[in-house]
Amino acid sequence: MDHPLDTTEDAHRAQVEAYRKMGGPGRAAVVFRLNDLARQTAMAGIQTRHPDYDHERLRLAYARLVLGDELTRKVWPQHDLVAP
């Protein structure tokens, strides 16, 4: 098993073992928590770059970042694209 370059073999083995012990539901919960943290981080970055954005513009900017221009235009055709 190859381990990440920034992690020792022992640490990687311990992490893999911890994930195995969690079982499927535990691993799924970790994935959802990490996804939420990534979303919060991205939203905070957008808010830092564009402090004037209201909640709606922030949401549209995040959508553009995640979905791309084409899909964002299809989902919200009534809105202009907002810079993330």
38-53 pLDDT tens trace: 999 999 999 999 999 9
User: Distance between alpha carbon 73 and the CA centroid of its chain, in Å?
Assistant: 21
Overall pTM surpassing 0.85 (yes/no):
no
Question: Which among 32, 8, 10, 9 is positioned nearest to 22, based on CA atoms?
Answer: 32
pLDDT of 1 reads 59
In the chain, where the domains are located: 9-75
**pLDDT tens across 46-83, in order?**
999 999 999 999 999 999 999 999 999 999 999 999 99
CA–CA gap between residue 27 and residue 45 (Å, rounded): 27
Alpha carbon separation from 17 to 13, 20, 25, 33 (Å, rounded): 6, 5, 15, 19
